[in-house]
Amino acid sequence: MTTADTRSPAIADLTADVFVAGGGPAATWAALAAAEAGADVVLADKGYCGTSGATAAGGTGVWYVPPHPAEREKAKASREALGGYLADRRWMDRVLDQTYANVNELAGVGRYPFPIGADGAQIRRGVQGPEYMRRMRIRVQRAGVRILDHSPVLELLADASGAVAGVAGIRRQLDTGYRVRAGAVVLATGGCAFLSSALGTNVDTGDGALFAAEAGAELSGMEFSNAYAIAPAFTSVTKTAYYSYATFFHADGTVLDGAGSTKGRSVIARTLMAEGAVLCQIDRASEEVQRQMRAGQPNFFLPFDRLGIDPFTQKFPVTLLAEGTVRGTGGIRIAGDDCSTSVPGLYAAGDAATRELICGGFTGGGSHNAAWAMSSGSWAGAAAARHATALGATARRREIRPLGEAGLRPAGTPGDPGQYREVVAAVQEQVLPYEKNYLRHGERLRPALDSLDATWTALRAGLRGSGAERFRAREAAAMAAHARWMYHSALARTETRGMHKRADFPEQDPAQHHRLLTGGLDTVWVAPESASAVEVAS
């Protein structure tokens, strides 16, 4: 493969105080915080830090609420019921404070050009993805962080005690391996959208959750993993905000009653299943609103302008694309205020971590994910730096061993390197269909899980990648693991709460007012938080 001279030369063995996996908002805020705490930091992204991940492509509203008691109270109260009362007000306060500080820093030192409102003050409630993330890259570089682009992490390294001591990965454009010994590692690899092509998410295959589980960490809230977003049919653009100005129709042009962007999304799903098509027209936007939409989110219009559709006057077909845990809330369990996990030396931030702490079991709409990414990133980065400092030079002298298993070190006879494609297809078949994942029912979840468990058993035995694309096998394994944690948890939660809606248990059950933890790889367990883990049959 040819390479460009802008890339740094081949690097095989590095040492750092802090290693950050990922290159989105969570990773860049983590790298900044660690560097500002005096740590020597290496950040590696699967893609390019600045364009990779859900924020860079999409842009986000941010939970930016000035510290006025009444406004803060309203902000906290607004989501508690939707999230099934699984959030924690103390964490909301922390995230609101940290997000307020980070966004102000982005406006100040970061010189992000927030628009000016009628009152002459900047409006800081949202960011355009490309602009935000190119500025974060520049800041991270100026802070002295070494960035490895196109360098997916493949696995964690641990010392004899099980503490995380570094990572191994590959530089895909150079087809060479790399290894970083580090005092602490931050996982900021995003959520998992199962390669659905929802905007910017195909790099988000849940890798960090797999790494964490291999190191012995738990996950939380994995039943809250069935976010689906509206997009013009056959496109990737899952930008949903402006559909609040839309009317939805049957294919024959009659109005589809009850269909809407949030509450009525299940109506859209049912109609897509029953009738094969749903049409949409953004017919409730005045000319002024139309103009504001173009200024606010230009990427919303890319499909329309390029396909020659006027979305305000013409009906166009829509679909729902899975966004899994990207706009769900499940992820690696956070064990402390500093975003530590239960494994020493391992920290988690952004979509890789659970967001239940601030929004319980629901997030679609509300800017919490963006706020969480920057806040948790800052905390994880600072704490990782402290951890590394406390270890001092001993960190570099530790005996290290690799932790990667599925997709990397098959337990049986290695299969064909192209096998990852079949695994991806098998997982997608169980997690993308609306009738399995979105409109959940025990009768459909159970066989889907059986199929996923069988996929896991087979991949564990033989899946292995090769060459520069060998991280594909790890992605496939991560997706399969993710799907199994999701459905084990979804079956265990025999009620409807947050975004997890069970047709066979349509009510919220006060006896299940707790978070669900899950974990394990060959044998998956699920347990209520704070109770001891019990194994469930897989």
Ligand X SMILES: Cc1cc2nc3c(=O)[nH]c(=O)nc-3n(C[C@H](O)[C@H](O)[C@H](O)COP(=O)(O)OP(=O)(O)OC[C@H]3O[C@@H](n4cnc5c(N)ncnc54)[C@H](O)[C@@H]3O)c2cc1C
Footprint (CB under 8 A) of other proteins, residues 116-155: 116-117, 123, 125-128, 130-132, 149-150
Which 338-397 positions form the footprint of other proteins (CB under 8 A)? 364-367
Q: Is 350 in the site for ligand X (CB under 6 A)?
A: yes
CA end-to-end span of the chain: 43
Euclidean distance between CA atoms 484 and 482, whole angstroms: 5
Binding residues for ligand X, rule CB under 6 A, total: 43
Euclidean distance between CA atoms 198 and 266, whole angstroms: 18
- Two tokens at 73? 């109270």
Find all residues with CB under 8 Å of 305, minimum gap 6, and list them: none
Given the complex with other proteins, which of 236 and 341 has the nearer CB atom? 236
* Min CB(500)–other proteins separation in Å: 19
Q: Is 474 in the site for other proteins (CB under 8 A)?
A: no
Which 292-321 positions form the footprint of other proteins (CB under 8 A)? 292-299, 301-303, 305-307
Number of Cβ atoms within 10 Å of the Cβ of 60: 21
Q: Is 242 in the site for other proteins (CB under 8 A)?
A: yes
**CB-nearest residue to ligand X:** 350
Q: Is 326 in the site for ligand X (CB under 6 A)?
A: yes
* Min CB(246)–other proteins separation in Å: 7
Binding residues for other proteins, rule CB under 8 A, total: 95
Q: Is 102 in the site for other proteins (CB under 8 A)?
A: no
Which 502-531 positions form the footprint of other proteins (CB under 8 A)? none
- Two tokens at 432? 């993308």
Dihedral (C-alpha) 445, 478, 31, 181: value to the nearest 10 degrees?
140
Residue 46 contacts residue 150 (beta carbons within 8 Å): yes
Given the complex with ligand X, which of 58 and 505 has the nearer CB atom? 58
* Min CB(15)–other proteins separation in Å: 25
Euclidean distance between CA atoms 213 and 445, whole angstroms: 23
Euclidean distance between CA atoms 92 and 497, whole angstroms: 19
Q: Is 211 in the site for other proteins (CB under 8 A)?
A: no
Q: H-helix or E-strand containing 300?
A: none
* Min CB(401)–other proteins separation in Å: 30
Window of 245-253, 429-437, 491-499, 524-532 that interacts with other proteins by CB under 8 A: 245-253
Find all residues with CB under 8 Å of 263, minimum gap 6, and list them: none
- Two tokens at 323? 């966004």
Q: Is 286 in the site for other proteins (CB under 8 A)?
A: yes
Count CA within 13 A, CB hemisphere, residue 456.
23
Given the complex with other proteins, which of 235 and 489 has the nearer CB atom? 235
Euclidean distance between CA atoms 215 and 153, whole angstroms: 14
Which 421-480 positions form the footprint of ligand X (CB under 6 A)? none
Phi, psi (degrees; rounded to nearest 5) at 42: -115, 135
Exactly one of 183, 190, 311, 330 binds ligand X (CB under 6 A); that residue is 190
Q: Is 289 in the site for other proteins (CB under 8 A)?
A: yes
Which 166-205 positions form the footprint of other proteins (CB under 8 A)? 172-173, 197, 199-203
∠ CA 361-367-371 to the nearest 5 degrees? 95
Which residue ranges make up the site for ligand X (CB under 6 A)?
Answer: 21-27, 44-47, 52-55, 58, 60-61, 152-153, 188-190, 198-201, 203-204, 207, 238-239, 323, 326-327, 350-352, 367-370, 373
